């Protein structure tokens, strides 16, 4: 008797199938993000610009008695949805620190030191160019690397890129995210309210207590996370930081040994098969083994992995494109080419396009030179330098920090244009260098093979 069909033949799959296959592509999220960015730019520079601006400032919220909680659409995206984005970032960081590449000091030192160089150098370049005046607050804008776009450019080369190079860039971007979170917390926090900070600490301790108790229900952590987000917002800290703090409290361990899960799973599947054969697939007796099997799956996978898997598609195909749609809509009508010589524009552009690759390459070279780390297998210095240019793609977090650094529309617009221009240049240069290095590497490999095949004289 065949219990499981060979494939999903539901009629709805004829419509959802192409979308499912597209989502499963490695570069699909970056394509959606790029399309959202282009759409925002077109809307902001067309006749629909007034409607676009009105949509961004549309108030959304609830009135309950005398209390009112309303935010504009733009604020909901930047303050609430981006908290979920930073929650996923925090989950990725914790996973890398616990069991990933950053768990080993030897393997982690190269991308960690490279990321530090990629943070310090752009910040210094911006600081030197804007040392006088209030514009110096923008020093945090060019320090961020957009992990989605940078990895997407690398993935365009497929298997031609050494796996060690991919791991280096992914680890570097994770460390870069940690630096970005710390910069937001330290440099872009204004007035603090002690009472709400105490509440933040108590809620975080509650999450840690739930972790130690072995609570695996993600809905419990999410409920506390909503209150944590509100406490962060009331405390004066940026509410998106609540996502990172919540991620650190999500359990990363499993609660059932793999051998035990396999033994119990075989028993439950056998009970399920017997119940289907005896009573039919719709009978009440089928539910019990399925329920037990579902619980086993919940305990065999860590809550961190379950939450990351559940949120990742929503962040990649929903929150990040929506952020681009609401933040990349820059009107170029009043922007003059002469403004590209303004210290703010030059600081951001030079920081991302020059500071990032320079800092990553030099600090990585120092780590290897001092024998604190070593290059990944199959990776040459020219390959690492090419990837360092991809670190200059600072789209999402850079634009986010720009909104925190500048309160005037003029500076905010200039900063976003500089980020977009620098990210585009860094992506093109990085991709060009990678194509060149891979071409030379392939040619060298072909020459070596021909030499080996030549008959000895």
- Which of 245, 275, 294 lies at the terminal end of a domain, its last residue? 294
Could you tell me if residue 252 is left (phi over 0), alpha (psi between -120 and 50 degrees) or otherwise beta? alpha
Residue 282 domain-assigned? yes
- pLDDT attached to residue 31: 81
pLDDT at 39: 92
Predicted local distance difference test score (pLDDT) of residue 130: 93
Report pLDDT for 9.
59
Q: Does residue 391 contact residue 150 with C-beta atoms inside 8 Å?
A: yes
The predicted pLDDT at position 448 comes to: 45
Q: What pTM does this model have?
A: 0.78
Reading phi first (left if > 0) and then psi (alpha if -120 to 50, else beta), residue 144 is in: beta
- Convert the chain into a string of H (helix), E (strand) and C (coil): CCCCCCCCCCCCHHHHHHHHHHHCCCCHHHHHHHHHHHHHHHHHCCCCHHHHHHHHCCEEEEEECCEEEEEEHHHHHHHHHHHHHHHHHHHHHHHHHHCCHHHCHHHHHHHHHHHHHHHHHHHHHHHHHCCCCHHHHHHHHHHCCCHHHHHHHHHCCHHHCCHHHHHHHHHHHHHHHHHHHHHHHHHCCCCCCHHHHHHHHHHHHHHHHHHHHCCCCHHHHHHHHHHHHHHHHHHCCCCCHHHHHHHHHCCCCCCCCHHHHHHHHHHHHHHHHHHHHHHCCCCHHHHHHHHHHHHHHHHHCCHHHHHHHHHHHHHHHHHHHHHHHHHCCCCCCCCCHHHHHCHHHHHHHHHHHHHHHHHHHHHHHHHHHCCCCCCCCCCCHHHHHHHHHHCCCCHHHHHHHHHHHCCCHHHHHHHHHHHHHHHHHHHHHHHHHHHHHHHHHHHHHHHHHHHHHCCCC
35 shares a domain with 145? yes
Looking at residue 185, its pLDDT comes to 84
What is the full per-residue pLDDT of the chain (457 aa) written as tens digits?
444 444 555 665 555 555 555 445 555 777 888 888 899 989 989 999 999 999 988 888 776 555 567 888 888 998 899 899 889 888 888 888 787 766 777 777 888 899 999 999 999 999 999 998 889 999 999 998 887 778 778 777 766 778 788 888 888 888 888 888 888 888 887 778 889 899 999 999 999 999 999 888 899 999 999 999 999 988 888 888 899 899 999 998 887 887 777 877 787 888 777 777 777 777 777 777 777 777 777 778 888 989 998 898 888 888 988 988 988 888 888 788 888 999 999 999 999 999 999 999 999 999 999 888 888 877 888 889 999 999 999 888 899 899 888 988 888 889 999 999 999 999 999 989 988 886 665 555 444 445 545 554 4
For residues 40 and 156, membership in a common domain is answered with yes
Residue 250 confidence (pLDDT): 93
Question: Any residues with CB less than 8 A from the CB of 397 and at least 6 apart, and which?
Answer: 144, 145, 146, 177, 180
Are residues 45 and 181 both part of a single domain?
Answer: yes
Among the candidates 273, 294, 315, a domain finishes at: 294
Shared domain check, 148 and 38: yes
pLDDT digits (tens, 9 = 90+) for 215-247: 888 999 999 999 999 999 888 888 888 998 999
First-to-last CA distance in the chain? 68
Q: What values do phi and psi take at 66, rounded to 5?
A: -85, -10
Supply the pLDDT for residue 11: 63
148 neighbors 30 (Cβ within 8 angstroms) = yes
- Provide CB contacts within 8 A for 344, sequence distance 6+: 130, 135, 138, 411, 414, 415, 418
pLDDT given for residue 295 in this prediction = 76
355 within 8 A of 441, measured Cβ to Cβ: no
Tokens 């690759």 found at: 357
pLDDT at 410: 87
Supply 271's token pair.
């009970």
Could you tell me the CATH number of the domain that includes residue 34?
A: 1.20.1530.10
Residue 456 lies inside a defined structural domain of this protein: no
Domain-embedded: residue 378:
yes
Same domain, 32 and 106: yes
Q: What is the dihedral of CA 181, 182, 183, 185, to 10 degrees?
A: 90
Which token pair is 365?
């070279």
Handedness of CA 188, 192, 194, 200 (dihedral sign): negative
4 occurs within a structural domain = no
Question: 140-151: per-residue pLDDT in tens?
Answer: 999 988 877 787
Q: Which pLDDT does position 446 carry in this prediction? A: 47
Long-range contacts of 308-311 (CB under 8 A, 24+ apart): 308/88, 308/91, 308/92, 308/95, 310/218, 311/84, 311/87, 311/88, 311/91
Indicate whether 32 and 132 sit together in one domain: yes
- Domain contains 19: no
Structural domain span for residue 436? 27-63+102-187+330-443
Tell whether 225 is covered by a domain: no
Of the candidates 294, 319, 352, which is a domain's last residue? 294
Q: Is residue 311 part of a domain?
A: no
State the total domains in the chain. Answer: 2
């Amino acid at each position: 008797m065949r219990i499981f069909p060979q494939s999903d033949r539901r009629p709805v799959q004829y419509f959802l199938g192409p979308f499912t296959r597209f989502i499963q592509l490695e570069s699909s999220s970056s394509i959606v993000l790029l399309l959202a960015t282009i759409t925002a730019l077109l809307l902001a520079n067309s006749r629909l610009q007034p409607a676009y601006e009105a949509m961004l400032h549309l108030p959304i919220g609830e009135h309950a008695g005398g209390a009112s909680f309303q935010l504009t659409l733009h604020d909901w995206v930047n303050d609430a949805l981006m908290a979920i984005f930073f929650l996923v970032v925090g989950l990725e960081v914790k996973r890398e620190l616990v069991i990933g590449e950053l768990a080993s000091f030897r393997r982690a030192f190269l991308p960690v030191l490279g990321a530090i160089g990629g943070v310090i150098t752009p910040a210094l370049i911006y600081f030197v160019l804007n040392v006088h005046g209030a514009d110096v607050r923008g020093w945090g804008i060019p320090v961020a690397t957009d992990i989605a776009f940078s990895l997407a450019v690398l993935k365009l080369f497929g298997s031609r890129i050494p796996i060690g190079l991919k791991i280096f860039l992914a680890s570097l971007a994770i460390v870069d995210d940690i630096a970005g979170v710390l910069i937001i917390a330290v440099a872009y926090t204004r007035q603090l309210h002690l009472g709400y900070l105490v509440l933040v600490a108590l809620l975080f301790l509650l999450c840690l207590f739930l972790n130690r108790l072995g609570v695996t229900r993600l809905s419990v952590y999410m409920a506390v996370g909503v209150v944590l987000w509100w406490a962060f917002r009331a405390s004066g800290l940026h509410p998106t930081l609540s996502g990172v703090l919540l991620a650190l409290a999500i359990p990363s361990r499993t609660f059932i040994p793999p051998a035990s899960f396999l033994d119990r799973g075989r028993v439950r599947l056998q009970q399920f098969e017997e119940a289907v054969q005896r009573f039919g697939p719709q009978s009440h007796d089928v539910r019990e083994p399925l329920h037990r099997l579902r619980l086993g799956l919940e305990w065999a996978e860590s809550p961190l992995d379950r939450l990351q898997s559940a949120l990742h598609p929503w962040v990649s195909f929903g929150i990040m494109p929506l952020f681009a749609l609401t933040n990349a809509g820059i009107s170029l009508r009043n922007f003059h080419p002469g403004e590209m010589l303004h210290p703010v524009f030059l600081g951001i552009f030079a920081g991302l396009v020059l500071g990032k690759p320079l800092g990553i390459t030099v600090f990585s070279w120092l780590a290897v030179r001092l024998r604190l780390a070593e290059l990944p297998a199959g990776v040459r210095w020219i390959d690492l330098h090419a990837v360092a240019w991809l670190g200059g793609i600072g789209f999402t977090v850079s634009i986010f920090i720009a909104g925190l650094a500048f309160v005037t529309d003029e500076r905010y617009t200039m900063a976003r244009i500089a980020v977009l221009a620098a990210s585009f240049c860094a992506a093109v240069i990085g991709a060009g260098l990678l194509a060149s290095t891979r071409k030379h590497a392939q040619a060298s490999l072909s020459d070596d093979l021909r030499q080996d095949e030549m008959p000895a004289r």
